[in-house]
Chains A and B, each alone.
Chain A
Amino acid sequence: MLDFDDIQHILLTRAPALNGRYVFLTFRDPEGARAWLSAMLETVHSARAMRESVARDRRWVTLAFTWNGLRALGVDEASLATFPEEFRQGMVARAEILGDTGANHPDNWVDDTKSPDLHAIVILFARDAEAHARCVAAHDELLTRHESVQMLSTLDLAATPPFDYAHDHFGYRDRLSQPVIEGSGDEPTPGSGGFIKAGEFILGYPDESGPGPRLPQPEILSRNGSFMAYRRLEEHVGRFRAFLREQGQTPDEQELIAAKLMGRWRSGAPLVLAPERDDPALGADPRRNNDFGYKHQDPHGYAVPLGTHIRRMNPRDTAANMNRRRMIRRGATYGPPLPEGAADDGVERGIAAFVICASLIRQFEFAQNVWVNDKSFHELGNERDPIIGNQDGTLEYKIPKRPIRKTITGLPAFTNVRGGAYFFLPGLRALRWLAALGQAPA
């Protein structure tokens, strides 16, 4: 039922990549932009093509466009007007809604993604550094032959050691909880919530509420496409480690504090199932590490404080309509690792990720506005998400404990938003249609 030949691979698969690059582009004229796009078409894998060739391939490419980018390619105004309101406004205009204020405000972003001239992104995932270097050189060379297309900025991604599992610069194991699309051929791990209707993530299919909304026009452009929210989050590793040392006397106590912020131990073991002691084997076991709920297993937050990151990003059985609030995440770390025990070197490092969903306003923006940055989440009051929430140093964090809870005041900001944008991720047919705009019909 899913059109695997048309859907871009990033929606349905994860590339086995250690390296990558995000290239942010601007188009100077529509014809030149389309010529570049035509040259790029053969590099974009569909989901089916990727699954068939993943063992052999060394690089995977994804193309996506901002609303201004679609216009810059030559999409007409009548069609542009049919795209969703929040996508048309762009992430910068939605900053207050997303909680991107103060230090997270777009004025402080570093990569020109806030520019209205941001038109496109090329996402390169490469198996290793050698493939990365070869592809970067090839694309740089391609750009010299397409002067209408210019780079606004780039960001290189690389996995941080140790390489046995994916984790961020803070050391937290990642990619443990993912929605699985009905008909994708994947199986959800226990606790991951059952199959989700394709329309929650891919345009043109029924979603969890019914037939799905009207497609942006023309249909050939939007069918099998999706929307992506790009977020570049700097991680202040020195500050984070210093905080753990302040809050815990022993390494075990420090690990517990780290777990109480995230909702999982850094090994990935969920606090609900391992409330007092880390259990790395549990963290590594996909049959068990996501199999839990909150309503019956931890209603008061004694194991997982009510305001932890994972409890805010996925309230599981304590929220309504969860099947309408899921998101697909893809991304990687950037910047050099900071060795344990080393003082912070001031070099920017963090995670740069994409949140993929069929409705930015209902899925991504809802999570940011109602869960991550809302002080009245679970009526906690003076709290926001301790990992990705907008922290200005005045907020607190409450850890329920018998008999008296622990309250940390003046929680520091461990992350800051350094870039972001809303992209439309077209299907392959749509990419070909875009590349052929302006040509007389055959």
Chain B
Amino acid sequence: MRALGRAARRLQDAVTLATVNMSNTSKKTDWSKPAAMALPKGGYFPNRVEQGRYGPVFPKTPACYGFTIIAKIIPGREPAFHEYAQRIEKAVAETPDCLAVLKLHYLRWVLFPIKGETYFMYQGIFDTDFDKYTEDAVAIFTSTGLRTVFENLEGFPEDWQTNPAAFARFVREHQCPSFLEYGEYPYVSADEIKKALALKASFSTMLDQMQ
């Protein structure tokens, strides 16, 4: 009986947590209706540019926030990228929440050729505009060794670790804004998804215990 009471209390907490933290956007927009958003050339809506600390903020879309960085690699450095991939796989396996502060949904790291030269694309989808967590991103890159990828790119600033503004400038200069984005469950944050899944799991547990 006590176990049931505990389960019920945990369920109550999960419900409260889910409702307390339901963002206003998910109340206004319908997560169950996929949505697409066309974006002007340059990536900003002209009359609605929000100013961040390091420059204008790219608008939130049904695919939340994100960036697509494209940069030429220093020729011959391809092996460094593949070593790095092994390292990150291990780092995340050891410390699953090492990238939590970046509020990520997905990240993709890609190498591709243009006329015989190798380019790197780094595409991220996340829940906070990049401006807000620039310094935290720099700190993570420093502590987990993610930095060694960027240092293989042409033009990456040498003093990036003590100069977040220079890091932010490199990202902005190499950012290719989307002209169209689509979201299957528009504007929903990774946190909300995880809470919904946790809630579902709590329900299941409680139903089990009531058998």
- Closest residue of chain B to A400 (Cβ to Cβ) is B20
The residues of A that contact B138 with a CB separation of less than 8 Å are 209
The residues of A that contact B16 with a CB separation of less than 8 Å are 300, 400, 402-403, 405
Q: Mark A81-99, 1 if CB is under 8 A from B, else 0.
A: 0000110000000001100
Say yes or no: B20 contacts A306, CB within 8 Å: yes
In the complex, A209→B52 CA distance in Å? 23
Say yes or no: A402 contacts B12, CB within 8 Å: yes
**Which listed residue, B25, B101, B161, touches A320 by the CB 8 Å rule?**
B101
Q: Mark B111-145, 1 if CB is under 8 A from A, else 0.
A: 00000000000000001100011011011001000
The residues of A that contact B19 with a CB separation of less than 8 Å are 405
Say yes or no: A97 contacts B53, CB within 8 Å: yes
Q: Is A169 an interface residue (CB 8 A)?
A: no
In the complex, A211→B27 CA distance in Å? 46
The residues of A that contact B161 with a CB separation of less than 8 Å are 209-210
The residues of A that contact B22 with a CB separation of less than 8 Å are 379, 381
CB distance from A9 to the nearest CB of B (A): 28
Say yes or no: A212 contacts B24, CB within 8 Å: no
- Closest residue of chain A to B195 (Cβ to Cβ) is A379
Interface size class of B (residues with CB under 8 A): 35 or more
Say yes or no: A361 contacts B139, CB within 8 Å: no
Say yes or no: A362 contacts B135, CB within 8 Å: yes
Q: Is A247 an interface residue (CB 8 A)?
A: no
Q: Taking A86-B53, A97-B51, A209-B162 as contacts, is the C-beta distance between A379 and B189 under 8 angstroms?
A: yes
**Which listed residue, A86, A213, A370, A374, touches B163 by the CB 8 Å rule?**
A213
The residues of A that contact B139 with a CB separation of less than 8 Å are 209, 320-321, 324
In the complex, A380→B19 CA distance in Å? 10
In the complex, A382→B139 CA distance in Å? 30
Q: Mark A387-406, 1 if CB is under 8 A from B, else 0.
A: 00000000000101011010
Say yes or no: A366 contacts B135, CB within 8 Å: yes
In the complex, A209→B163 CA distance in Å? 11
CB distance from A365 to the nearest CB of B (A): 5
Interface of B is mostly: helix
Say yes or no: A382 contacts B24, CB within 8 Å: yes
The residues of B that contact A382 with a CB separation of less than 8 Å are 24
- Closest residue of chain A to B28 (Cβ to Cβ) is A381
In the complex, A214→B16 CA distance in Å? 47
Say yes or no: A209 contacts B142, CB within 8 Å: yes
In the complex, A364→B49 CA distance in Å? 22
Q: Is A375 an interface residue (CB 8 A)?
A: yes
**Which listed residue, B25, B100, B165, touches A85 by the CB 8 Å rule?**
B165
The residues of A that contact B127 with a CB separation of less than 8 Å are 376
A-contacting residues, B78-135, CB 8 Å: 100-101, 127-128, 132-133, 135
Say yes or no: B23 contacts A376, CB within 8 Å: yes
Q: Is A20 an interface residue (CB 8 A)?
A: no
In the complex, A300→B53 CA distance in Å? 29
Q: Is A139 an interface residue (CB 8 A)?
A: no
In the complex, A378→B189 CA distance in Å? 11
Say yes or no: A300 contacts B164, CB within 8 Å: no
Q: Taking A214-B162, A324-B139 as contacts, is the C-beta distance between A369 and B20 under 8 angstroms?
A: no
CB distance from B97 to the nearest CB of A (A): 10
CB distance from A86 to the nearest CB of B (A): 7
- Closest residue of chain B to A302 (Cβ to Cβ) is B16
- Closest residue of chain B to A306 (Cβ to Cβ) is B20
The residues of B that contact A365 with a CB separation of less than 8 Å are 53
Q: Is A270 an interface residue (CB 8 A)?
A: no
**Which listed residue, B24, B53, B101, B165, touches A366 by the CB 8 Å rule?**
B53
CB distance from B21 to the nearest CB of A (A): 5
Which of B53, B100, B135 is packed against the most chain A CB atoms within 10 Å? B53
Closest 3 CB pairs of A and B: A381-B24, A320-B101, A382-B24
Q: Other than the known A376-B127, A378-B21, what 5 A-B pairs have Cβ atoms closer than 8 Å?
A: A86-B53, A320-B100, A362-B135, A366-B132, A366-B135
Using a CB–CB cutoff of 8 Å, the interface residues on chain A facing chain B are 85-86, 96-97, 209-214, 300-301, 306, 320-321, 324, 361-362, 365-366, 369-370, 374-376, 378-382, 398, 400, 402-403, 405
Can you name 16 A-B pairs with beta carbons within 8 Å?
A209-B161, A210-B161, A210-B162, A320-B139, A324-B135, A361-B165, A362-B164, A366-B135, A369-B52, A376-B128, A379-B189, A379-B191, A380-B20, A381-B27, A398-B20, A405-B16
